[in-house]
């Protein structure tokens, strides 16, 4: 906004004036200002962002060779770019050029079908862009580059040596031998030394560097020992103290911008500015510059680096751009004693007499041609080259003018460069394009150098010397503007060398090697697999042909037998119509006659005979359907897996629940007439709604795939009938099968209802179509009369039990079968002979709390323990503040589900005080299942037992209930330890598998694997012995002692379960003493 701001560089921040701005001598009395800016080199992304802000001001001419035009958003205003005089000496799409040059280099050595490891500074965003470009090229349509880029970021901030060592170790494990490095020289030295110690340098290991080496760096690599070069960065071993970095760089390559003369076809000093530059350089001596303190060998050779060439051409470009704006007087200002005066149109700047005296400053005073060989042109909009601008001094030497001590000229750009700019630079022909304000690409713009450790015959020391491999591209086309527009052949122009190239320690390019499969190997394997598949298909076709022939032969044989036995079949039908039919009629008449007898005992026999007659009818009908009874029996085993439709499940549950209501049992609560007989239709409706809910979870605008997944999820609950198996059975036979399953189901449920230790929950799951939890919990509540006594809503209670079972995940251990086993375990203590019997015999609410707490104690269990959830900051751990995370989640889900109207089975039947008592007891019991509180709960229980023994009247009944019920559910949670050895062993295998799955998750997250969960060291019998001794036996023993002292029947039930624990413990103890670590099979 102000000319003074431009001239005094206030728009540029972060620049130390004393070191970055050339100061005028005090005798000159001129203001210290900036006319144009150069640099920086190798700018990182945030620095380019800062320069972008400076460039957008459009005030000072600036030339950079560290940022691309894309990063600076340069271009013509109105066409997507900023209106600026900033120029980038890097070519357009520089990363595209570098990426293609590197991949073409790999192609020339037949490495572009292998795997390349790339090491880069993780804070260098430009390196990451280059890697992404190379990966994208391999994905171009029609690209023949098959290289696989494997990036390995290095953390080079501070002293993070462990991170670098780990990354290099991973690279070594991959067995790479082609390495690409984007590191700067100072970053490269410690990394190369570490790689050398891992045997990744030399021999057939090839390092390719994307940054060129300056002469100073080559000297440092040749002369400085590693102990000095890496001081403070890496501890160099004593044996390597005198080793030079150049020795480690032997046989490596650097690929960067061409140091000089890119695009020139001749090398003569008259036509190639780079050659002239070298000639002028060689004529200089340090004595000509006494104030600079240059070393004697400073001018022995020119700075053969891309950076030096770019600096030279950047300075020339900046001067030309500055002078162009001087010529454009609309941007020229004159500083007279600190006052800015704008130049008028014309050829001079007028200064008022009363301010500075008379005088005219002509533009010819400012600059002129001194015979310099540079030829610069300003290219207008049509691309034509006007005549060179020449301005002559009109009024004498500017330096001798009368007001030289108080004036200075400045350029404050109001808009960008009008046209392009081109000249022959030392880095090659330079053409600054009009639109992007960046250098246009040209042939030979990139070079590859082979670094060799050379011992000169006439020198006493060796040195690292670069030898030209070639230049890229050998020609240039303006069509190559996009990443995938380059040709699919190599553009490298390799040059014959007198000195052979070095590849590591060999003169022959090695073959790539890695632990990864190459494209050619993949293709070969695919071809082999294709032939194997074809062979298998042909073999299968041959077997099918043979099978068809055999089937046809058997059909013909069977057909002949059918014809031959047709008469026998007719005779059988006749016998059925006569003898069998008559026999059934006679039996029916006899039964009717028995019913006419007034004797009640004969009436009972009639019912028995009718039942037998029904079985005879079914048997005969099955024979009529030509199905042998062995098929009927075998189909029973398939019911659980294939035939549980909602109708069948509802029928079995209805039969079981109504059978439970008919059972007479001591302790059954008084039944209310408000709770009628359960109908199959009500259960079937609940199951159908559950099935429909699962299928309708996806909305109308969701994909079909979501609905399919919902159906697949419900297959664990309802398996549709298999047509293949059902076709052979008619409905009559199906009824036979279902009736037999019903009988076995009721027997299994009665085992749980009587607290029998031989109860097998796996058998119950098979008989209920994997619905053991809802079937058992509803059966027990109905059998005990809890539902009728509390007037619970029948349909909503069934819906709640089914929904809880639906929400149980199918983990190996924490699933619906485990929960059903816990329900059966704690219920065993409520029957006569159990120590909970005295608490629940007069309180249906306590009975409901016991069954309810056991039913929901693992609701929606995630399959991992609380410690894992807390360490991984799982949302559940955050929600429940790391306090009994799983248990709190089970309770939250249980009561949240009950709050929904369709599952609120209590409704208005229970007052608020009773509900709060029920809720408090359930929470106490479920939280007690947290193993973290195991010992504190057990110790509290022992103290209660001791206090009650001393004075039974001193205890509060509610406190005693909380303690006793908490221990009861803990015992039930481990009830499998008291089951039969076969069932117990199966549970041990399941919990072990769940532990190992958690260990796999911990390993994947780089966490310390919890004890007993490492798959490489699975737990055995010894661990089971320790668990039983520490947790199980003390718990069951304390429970048995309490039941013996205070139970209704001296702990009869508890003693049975304790004996089961001791029996299984003896088995594990015996197994742990065997020589083999594998547990013997049961």
> Do 967 and 941 touch, CB atoms closer than 8 A?
yes
How far is the C-alpha of 250 from the C-alpha of 504, rounded, in Å?
6
CA torsion 1005-1009-1015-1019 (nearest 10°) is -160
Cβ-based neighbours of 358, under 8 Å, separated by 6 or more = none
CA separation for the pair 597, 592 (Å, rounded) = 9
Residue written as token pair 């046989």: 251
Reduce the secondary structure of 278-296 to three states and give it as a string: HHHHHCCCHHHCHHHCCCC
Q: In whole angstroms, give the CA distance from residue 1066 to residue 1082.
A: 14
User: 209: which strand partners?
Assistant: 181, 254
Burial of 917 by CB count in 10 Å (0-12 exposed, 13-18 middle, 19+ buried)? middle
Is 814 known to be catalytic? yes
Please pick, among 811, 814, 880, 985, the residue that the annotation labels catalytic.
814
CA distances to 119, 519, 613, 618 from 516, in Å: 18, 10, 74, 67
Where would I find the H helices in 814-911?
A: 816-827, 837-840, 844-856, 866-871, 875-879, 885-898
As a whole number of angstroms, the distance between CA 896 and CA 919 comes to: 12
Judging by beta carbons within 10 Å of its beta carbon (0-12, 13-18, 19+), is residue 8 exposed, middle or buried? middle
**How many of the other CB atoms lie within 10 Å of CB of 142?**
6
Q: Is the CB of residue 277 less than 8 Å from the CB of residue 426?
A: yes
Round to whole Å and give the CA distance between 462 and 454.
5
Q: What's the CA gap between 190 and 724, in Å, rounded?
A: 71
Going from the C-alpha of 863 to that of each of 330, 798, 889, 932, 933, the distances in angstroms are: 77, 26, 13, 17, 19
β-pair partners for 58: none
Q: Are 277 and 372 in contact (CB under 8 A)?
A: no
Distance of alpha carbon 117 from alpha carbon 176, whole angstroms: 7
Give 254's strand partners: 209, 449
621, with CB counted inside 10 A (0-12, 13-18, 19+), is middle
Going by the DSSP 8-state scheme, the letter that residue 202 receives in this structure is B
The closest alpha carbon to 154, from 130, 111, 190, 178, belongs to: 190
Q: Cβ neighbours of residue 343 under 8 Å, at least 6 residues apart?
A: 329, 332, 333, 334, 349
From CA 93, how far away is CA 486, in angstroms rounded? 12
- DSSP-based three-state secondary structure for 455: strand
CB of 117 closer than 8 Å to CB of 179: yes
CB 180 within 8 A of CB 152: no
Strands 420-425 and 428-432: antiparallel
Tokens standing for residue 193: 């030394």
Closest C-alpha among 812, 794, 796 to residue 804: 796
Query: If you ran DSSP here, which 8-state letter would residue 1029 be given?
Result: I
Q: Which residues are catalytic?
A: 814
């Amino acid at each position: 906004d102000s000319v003074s701001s431009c001239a005094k560089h206030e728009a540029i921040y972060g620049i130390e004036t004393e070191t970055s701005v050339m100061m005028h001598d005090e005798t000159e009395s001129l203001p210290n200002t900036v006319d144009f800016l150069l640099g920086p080199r190798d700018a990182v992304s945030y620095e380019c962002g800062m320069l972008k802000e400076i460039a957008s001001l459009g005030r000072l001419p600036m030339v950079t060779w560290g940022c691309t035009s894309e990063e600076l958003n340069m271009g013509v205003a109105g066409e997507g770019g900023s209106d600026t005089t900033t120029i980038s000496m890097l070519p357009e799409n520089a990363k595209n050029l570098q990426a293609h040059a590197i991949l073409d280099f790999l192609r020339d050595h037949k490495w572009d079908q292998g795997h390349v490891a790339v090491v880069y500074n993780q804070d260098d965003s430009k390196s990451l862009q280059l890697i992404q470009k190379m990966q994208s090229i391999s994905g171009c349509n029609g690209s023949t580059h098959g290289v696989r880029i494997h990036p390995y970021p290095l953390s080079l901030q501070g002293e993070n040596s462990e991170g670098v060592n780990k990354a290099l170790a991973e690279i070594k494990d991959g067995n790479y031998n082609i390495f690409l490095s984007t590191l700067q020289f100072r970053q490269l030295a410690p990394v190369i030394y570490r790689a050398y110690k891992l045997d990744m340098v030399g021999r057939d290991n090839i390092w390719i560097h994307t940054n060129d080496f300056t002469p100073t760096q080559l000297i440092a690599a040749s002369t400085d020992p590693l102990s000095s070069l890496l001081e403070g960065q890496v501890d160099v071993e004593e044996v390597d103290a005198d080793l030079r970095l150049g020795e480690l760089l032997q046989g490596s390559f650097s690929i960067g911008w061409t140091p000089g003369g890119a695009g020139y076809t001749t090398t003569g000093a008259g036509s190639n500015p780079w050659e002239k530059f070298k000639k002028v350089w060689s004529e200089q001596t340090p004595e000509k510059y006494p104030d600079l303190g240059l070393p004697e060998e400073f001018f022995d050779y020119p700075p053969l680096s891309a950076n030096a060439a770019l600096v030279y051409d950047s300075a020339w470009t900046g001067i030309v751009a500055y002078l162009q704006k001087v010529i454009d007087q609309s941007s020229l200002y004159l500083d007279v004693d600190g006052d800015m005066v704008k130049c008028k149109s014309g050829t001079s700047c007028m200064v008022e007499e009363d301010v500075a005296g008379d005088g005219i400053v002509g533009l010819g005073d400012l600059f002129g041609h001194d015979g310099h060989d540079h030829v610069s042109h300003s290219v207008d909009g049509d691309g034509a080259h006007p005549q060179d601008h020449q301005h002559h001094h009109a009024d004498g030497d500017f330096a001798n003018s009368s007001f030289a001590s108080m004036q200075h000229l400045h350029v404050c750009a109001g808009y960008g460069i009008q046209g392009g700019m081109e000249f022959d630079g030392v880095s090659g022909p330079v053409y600054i394009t009009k639109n992007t304000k960046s250098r246009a690409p040209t042939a030979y713009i990139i070079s590859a150098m082979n670094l060799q450790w050379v011992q000169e015959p006439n020198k006493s020391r060796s040195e690292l010397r670069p030898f030209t491999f070639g230049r890229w591209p050998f020609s240039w086309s303006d069509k190559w503007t996009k990443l995938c527009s380059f040709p699919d052949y190599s553009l490298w122009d390799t040059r014959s060398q007198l000195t052979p190239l070095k590849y590591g320690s060999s003169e022959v390019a090695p073959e790539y090697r890695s632990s990864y499969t190459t494209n050619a190997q993949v293709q070969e394997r695919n071809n082999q697999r294709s032939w194997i598949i074809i062979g298998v298909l042909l073999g299968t076709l041959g077997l099918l042909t043979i099978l068809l022939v055999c089937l046809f032969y058997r059909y013909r044989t069977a057909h002949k037998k059918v014809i031959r036995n047709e008469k026998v079949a007719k005779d059988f039908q006749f016998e059925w119509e006569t003898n069998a039919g008559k026999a059934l009629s006679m039996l029916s008449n006899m039964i009717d006659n028995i019913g006419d007898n007034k004797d009640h005992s004969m009436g009972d026999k009639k019912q028995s005979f009718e039942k037998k007659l029904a079985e005879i009818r079914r048997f005969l009908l099955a024979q009529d359907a030509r199905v042998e009874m062995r098929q009927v029996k075998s189909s029973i085993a398939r019911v659980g897996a294939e035939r549980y439709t909602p109708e069948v499940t509802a029928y079995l549950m209805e039969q079981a629940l109504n059978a439970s209501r008919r059972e007479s049992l001591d302790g059954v609560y008084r039944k209310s007439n408000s709770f009628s007989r359960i109908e199959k239709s009500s259960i079937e409706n609940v199951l159908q709604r559950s099935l429909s809910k699962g299928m309708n979870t996806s909305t109308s605008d969701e994909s079909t795939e979501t609905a399919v997944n919902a159906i697949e999820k419900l297959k664990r609950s309802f398996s549709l009938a298999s047509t293949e198996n059902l076709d052979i059975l008619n409905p009559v036979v199906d009824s036979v099968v279902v009736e037999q399953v019903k009988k076995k189901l009721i027997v299994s449920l009665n085992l749980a209802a009587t607290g029998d230790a031989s109860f097998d929950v796996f058998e119950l799951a098979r008989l209920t179509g994997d619905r053991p939890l809802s079937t058992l919990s509803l059966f027990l509540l109905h059998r005990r009369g809890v539902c009728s006594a509390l007037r619970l809503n029948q349909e909503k209670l069934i819906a709640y039990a089914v929904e809880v079972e639906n929400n149980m995940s199918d983990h190996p251990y924490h699933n619906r079968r485990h929960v059903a086993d816990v329900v059966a375990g704690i219920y065993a203590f409520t029957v006569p002979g159990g120590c909970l019997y005295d608490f629940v015999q007069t309180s249906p609410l306590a009975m409901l709390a016991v069954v309810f707490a056991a039913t929901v104690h693992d609701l929606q269990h995630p399959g991992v323990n609380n410690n894992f959830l807390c360490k991984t900051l799982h949302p559940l751990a955050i929600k429940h503040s790391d306090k009994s995370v799983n248990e709190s989640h089970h309770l939250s889900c249980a009561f949240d589900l009950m709050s929904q109207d369709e599952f609120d089975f209590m409704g208005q039947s229970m007052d608020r005080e009773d509900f709060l008592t029920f809720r408090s007891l359930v929470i106490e019991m479920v939280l007690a299942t947290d193993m973290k509180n195991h010992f504190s709960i057990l110790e509290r229980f022992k103290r209660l037992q001791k206090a009650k023994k001393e004075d039974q009247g001193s205890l509060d009944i509610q406190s005693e209930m909380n303690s006793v019920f908490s221990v009861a559910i803990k015992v039930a949670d481990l009830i499998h330890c008291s089951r039969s050895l076969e069932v117990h062993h199966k549970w041990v295998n399941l919990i072990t598998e769940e532990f190992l799955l958690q260990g796999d998750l911990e390993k994947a997250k780089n966490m310390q694997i919890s004890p007993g969960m490492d798959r490489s060291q699975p737990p055995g019998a010894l661990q089971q012995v320790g668990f039983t001794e520490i947790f199980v036996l003390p718990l069951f023993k304390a429970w048995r002692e309490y039941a013996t002292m205070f139970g209704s029947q001296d702990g009869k039930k508890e003693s049975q379960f304790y004996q089961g624990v001791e029996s299984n413990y003896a088995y594990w103890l015996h197994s742990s003493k065997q020589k083999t670590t594998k547990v013997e099979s049961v």
